[in-house]
A and B are shown apart, each in its own frame.
Chain A
Amino acid sequence: MGLYDVFKIAGSALSAQSVRLNTVSSNLANANTLSSTPDGAYKARQPVFASVLSQVDGGPASVGVQVAAIVESQAEPVREYQPDNPLADADGYVYRSNVNPVEEMANMISASRSYQNSVEVMNTSKELLLKTLTLGR
């Protein structure tokens, strides 16, 4: 039945967007972490969304969303000369994570907007359902 499936669909969107918010927060938290090797530096993480078709009970059109994978950014870590830093390598360099804070903030706003949209969808559908239950009273 259409309206009940909306909870499944919007719920999957909520969980996917919260995974996205999660990666944003871990990226921002690690924006300034240093490492003594380029490989050890923190790499920005991004979720990859994919749609899920639920054919069985929802008919052909109910399409939820899932996080298919979480990929790490391939950008080069930033090399900085800090000979006093205890993490510095033999040449005096440290490697900062490749997180781009501006990108992350934009990502965060996009994720929170999408989250709000799905919450709205859920609320509206809930109201419609509750109203349908009182039909004929």
Chain B
Amino acid sequence: MPISFDSALGIHAKALLLRSRRNEVLASNIANADTPGFKARDIDFRKVLSETADAARLERTHAHHLDLNSEAGIEGAELLYRVPNQPSLDGNTVDPDLEKAAFAENAVRYNASLTFLDRKFRGLMLALKGE
């Protein structure tokens, strides 16, 4: 039975990709904390990840079928607008404290996914060496 890396690594590879995408979105929010009219955005992590996980179960039986397993699903993740609790007069909806908290949380979870992946690779290496 051939082992594909995708099934060996499980959901963590996709989670990592989505985390890095969210990292970028949150960095944009923090960068634009002082830009008039800028609206803070975010990704619904759970929703996007479950969508890509569902897509992973679909088989491509024709060359013209859309490849839902590719990174495009994560790169094109739907961006939602954050509901501001203190909108400012210039139309900016970035709350720097909230964004920083979300950024830190995202970084920690990225690290978690990374650790899971690392351990998976170590397990595979161990199996290969057979020591």
Contacts and interface: CB of A to CB of B under 8 A. Distances in A.
Interface of A: 1-3, 5-6, 9-10, 12-13, 16-17, 20, 48-51, 58-65, 110-111, 113-114, 117-118, 120-121, 124-125, 127-128, 131-132, 135-136
Contact of A65 (B21, B35, B79, B104): B35
Nearest to A48: B36
Q: Which of the four size classes fits the interface of chain B?
A: 35 or more
B117 A114 contact: no
B38 A6 contact: no
Contacts of A6: 23-24, 27
Interface stretch (B46-54, B57-65, B107-115): B107-115
Contacts, number: 108
B82 interface: no
The B interface, classified by DSSP as helix, strand, loop or mixed, is helix
B118 interface: yes
B24 A51 contact: no
A21 B75 CA distance: 35
Interface string B100-131: 10011001001100100110011001000000
A3 B31 contact: no
A131 B114 contact: yes
A2 B32 contact: no
